[in-house]
Amino acid sequence: MPERTEEEIFATGAEAVNKGDTVFGLACFSRLITSQQSPIIRSYYAVCLAKERDEQQKALTLCMEAIEEEPWNSMHYLNLGKVYLASGDKHAAIKAFRNGLLHGKNQLIAEELNRIGWRDLPVFTDLPREHLLNKYFGKLLKKLGLK
């Protein structure tokens, strides 16, 4: 049987992680991380470390480095959000997912946000969500179909 190329290993590993199979993903990305240090490989490897080995701090560092190198790649924000979810920080995960959506539409991010349940940003972001202005203007805009 011929040896699989690194591109094939990456594709199958990324697909596994995106479907939630971080055990298989860890096997793929552990193999890739030794030969390549590209931002996308580090980003996916970070998700696997956070979920399978409970190494959240190392995973956060890897994701942040990937974002620093390629801030336009929404997949890094998706993976950062998954790392935050693995550590139990839902608020930070939602923030990471939203930042990813600023860099382009990403169906995987939208699916994650829908899965964990999120709310729209408040109308006045400088005020707390519970502030009367946010409550009433939010309801008004919703009724008008503008939000």
Same structural domain for residues 57 and 87? yes
Same structural domain for residues 64 and 105? yes
- pLDDT tens sequence across 40-95: 999 999 999 999 999 999 999 999 999 999 999 999 999 999 999 999 999 999 99
What's the domain range around 37? 6-116
C-alpha span between 83 and 26 (Å, rounded)? 14
Q: Which pLDDT belongs to residue 37?
A: 83
Per the listing, tokens 């990456």 go with 10
Query: What is the biggest distance separating any 2 CA atoms in the chain, rounded to whole angstroms?
Result: 66
Asked whether the whole model's pTM tops 0.95, one would answer: no
The verdict on residue 79 lying in a domain is yes
The verdict on residue 1 lying in a domain is no
Same structural domain for residues 111 and 134? no
* Region of poorest pLDDT, from 42-56, 93-107, 110-124: 110-124
User: Which token pair is 97?
Assistant: 């997912």
C-alpha span between 93 and 146 (Å, rounded)? 26
Q: Which pLDDT belongs to residue 1?
A: 40
Q: Which pLDDT belongs to residue 123?
A: 84
Same structural domain for residues 104 and 145? no
Question: Would the pLDDT of 97 be above 60?
Answer: yes
Same structural domain for residues 30 and 58? yes
* DSSP one-letter code for 137: H
User: Which token pair is 85?
Assistant: 């979810």
Mean pLDDT of the chain: 90
Percent of the chain with pLDDT over 90: 62
Same structural domain for residues 112 and 127? no
Same structural domain for residues 16 and 51? yes
Buried/exposed 60-85: b ≥16 CB within 10 Å, e otherwise: bebbbbbbeebeebbbbbbbbbbbbb
Cβ neighbours of residue 49 closer than 8 Å, sequence gap 6 or more: 26, 55, 58, 59, 62
Indicate the number of domains in the chain.
2
C-alpha span between 111 and 19 (Å, rounded)? 11
Region 92-119: mean pLDDT is 89
C-alpha span between 62 and 70 (Å, rounded)? 12
Q: Which pLDDT belongs to residue 2?
A: 56
Same structural domain for residues 128 and 66? no
